[in-house]
Amino acid sequence: MLDLPTANNQLRTTQLVQVRTESPTVKTFMFTDRLCSKAKPGQFLMLWIPGIDEIPLSIMDTSNGVISVTVKAVGDATRHLHNLAPGATVGVRGPFGNSFTESRGRVLLVGGGTGTAPLLFLAKQLASKTDRLSFVEGAKTASELLFVKEVGGICQEKNIITTTEDGTAGLQCLVTQPLASLLDKEKFDMIYVCGPEIMVKRIFELTEARKLPIEASLERLMRCGIGLCGSCVIGKYRVCRDGPVFNAAQLREMKDELGISKIGFDGSRIPF
């Protein structure tokens, strides 16, 4: 029998209490929800935009019972969400999925784009527990580098690397490029990753070659969030129920699909 969440899966309505612009294409939306206030870093929720659609979103923060989700406007639903103002009603289900495990040694976090958001949530919780916290963040351009100030408040400047594809901030390269030398030079007890799946695949290959531990959060099309629809399947895993966080052994099992193909809206398998 399929083990389904009960209370977490009930749709609750709430109102946006704050909307913050992070970049020209990214906003953070804040609201209250009792169940999601108990979420752990790595978990996600399903946010319903009335009359439009329901979308999966990583949880970025739960401070003081206020839930924050960071969203890039990339499709119809997210564009409608970006048009909402404080006071607007939305629906919430969750939290769903597993979470990152907590490492107490030397930790490296690697975020690409909005993938930085759940890693910031994790970094806040790890800050007082780890021996050292390092952060590598990448984006296409300087205006899309998210939470630079917040990361700087958690990690020492010497332990932060930023990259942009156009060279407008930090190193001009993909976020994966500085990692090879960093992983060769320094020892990490855990590497946490969240970002585009092709980025995750490349970082996994770097850690595999060096036999390093890794946990990566994956993002796939999700219609239900509870493991029924099958739209988020990769290999033998359902991202919404078995993930979204996967360890090295699990990533190894899905390597023939990771960053290569996914299930599209019509149910067919399509390339990245």
Over the stretch 80-95, which tens digit does the pLDDT of each residue have? 999 999 999 999 999 9
Q: Write the CATH number for 211.
A: 3.40.50.80
How would you class 271 by CB atoms within 10 Å of its CB: exposed for 0-12, middle for 13-18, buried for 19 or more?
Answer: exposed
**Whether residue 71 is found in the same domain as residue 206:** no
Per-residue DSSP letter, 9: G
Q: What is the count of structural domains for the chain?
A: 2
Which string of b and e fits 171-201 if b means at least 16 CB within 10 Å?
eeebbbebbeebbeeeebebbbbbbbbebbb
* CA gap 8, 86 in Å, rounded: 24
Query: Do 240 and 96 touch, CB atoms closer than 8 A?
Result: yes
Q: Is 103 exposed, middle or buried (0-12, 13-18, 19+ CB in 10 A)?
A: buried
pLDDT digits (tens, 9 = 90+) for 236-272: 999 999 999 999 999 999 999 999 999 988 888 899 9
* 225 found inside a domain: yes
Position 154 confidence tier, pLDDT thresholds 50, 70, 90: very high
Domain final residue pick, 96, 123, 150: 96
Q: Are 47 and 81 contacting, i.e. CB atoms less than 8 angstroms apart?
A: yes
Q: Is 1 part of a structural domain of the chain?
A: no
pLDDT recorded at residue 3:
57
pLDDT value, residue 266: 86
Q: Are 148 and 162 in contact (CB under 8 A)?
A: yes
DSSP reduced 3-state for 251:
helix
96, 127, 147 — which closes off a domain? 96
Contact 92, 36 (CB under 8 A): yes
Candidates 122, 86, 133; CA nearest to 244 is 122
Q: Is residue 144 part of a domain?
A: yes
Tell me the torsion sign for CA atoms 171, 174, 180, 186: positive
Cβ pair 180, 210 in contact under 8 A: no
CA atoms of 9 and 43, how far apart (whole Å): 14
pLDDT at 4: 56
Q: Tell me, yes or no, whether 171 lies in a domain.
A: yes
- Nearest-angstrom CA–CA distance, 123 and 134: 9
In whole angstroms, what separates CA 115 from the centre of its chain?
4
Same domain? 167 vs 79: no
Residues 80 and 117 in one domain: no
pLDDT band at 128 (very low <50, low <70, confident <90, very high): confident
Task: Using pLDDT thresholds of 50, 70 and 90, give the confidence band for residue 1.
Answer: very low
Q: What are the pLDDT digits (tens) for 215-239? A: 999 999 998 999 999 999 999 999 9
| Mean of all residue pLDDT scores within the chain | 95
Of the three residues 96, 118, 152, the one that is the final residue of a domain is 96
Q: Can you give the pLDDT at residue 5?
A: 60
Q: Which domain holds residue 60?
A: 7-96
How far apart, in whole angstroms, are the C-alpha atoms of residue 94 and residue 56? 10
pLDDT above 70: residue 130? yes
Same-domain status, 48 and 166: no
